[in-house]
Structure 1
Amino acid sequence: MAIRDVRAYIEEHGLVETADEESEKSIWRKSGFEGVRSFGEMEQILSRFIREHRDARRLNRAQVGIMVGLHETIFARYERAFSKLHVTRLIHLCEILDCSPIEVVHAAAPHLFGDNRKEADDKMKLILCILDMPALTAASLLAMIEGLVGERERSGD
């Protein structure tokens, strides 16, 4: 069953009314650290992230194009933010470029990770550390954190 009052939901989640050139109507978004980034700005950031990671792996566009099944000129559209990256294509590129989709999301929308830039960056660093941990270490850390959360809930904090 849907909620009854969408306005209450909007207010409770801190969404702000905004306009974007991709939408004819007003849309509701979370404000970032520098305000609301347009979808176009986020596409530019995603494109730059992909290009920088491709360069860091010393791959050219033709080589990545082969791996994603696209001609070099078609793949170049993603790096120029001419074509939009769909989540499935983004995941595929992350597989090829050996990076996490979480890193890409953080680059475009760091406000989803914390209340300020430092908090968001610290959480991103922590996530990357966790992703690189051996499985046994991650399981031990999870058990420790669950214990701490349980203690906090029992103490009423």
Structure 2
Amino acid sequence: MPMPVLRGLLVVAFFALCAFYLVPVYVPRPAFIPGFAPPPDMWPRTVSLIGILLGLLALILAFRGGAPAEEAVETDGSSTKRMVLRFVGLVLAFGLFLAALPFVGFLIAIILLTFTMVLMTGERNYRVWIALLSVGGPVFLLLFFNSALGTQFPKGALLKTLGF
């Protein structure tokens, strides 16, 4: 199977898993939602559906031959086996994120997930940027969603015992 086709299939599979299993199961939908407020699952569902569409677009381009020709580079590690292993690692990381969420809370779990995702890209040289992205990004987004949008995230048993 050509690499662009496999890449498109993996993107569609990942976002379909998020849209049709993870979001309905893990994003609670309250019984009453005011008319002016979007439901809590709106953004996760929107991002997942956009991911599915982009994966389908990648598949269409791969089948039509519209994808740019990729030069084989010996050092990039993008073999089919490595790509499948990274996908399995991605699914496992999300599973661990969901398992850790009730215990450590959203902030610590998302910091660990972001750190794992950055490391799975293969980048190891920019340690300061990796730390800023892994810690600063989730903290900034959590503050934004809490203060600007009033969205609450799970605290977790660990943070509750520490008094946060």
> If the length of structure 1 is used for normalisation, what is the TM-score?
0.32
Q: Larger Rg: 1 or 2?
A: 1
Q: Which has the higher contact order (CA 8 A, sep 6+)?
A: 2
Structure with the bigger percentage of strand: 1
The structure with the greater share of residues assigned to helix is: 2
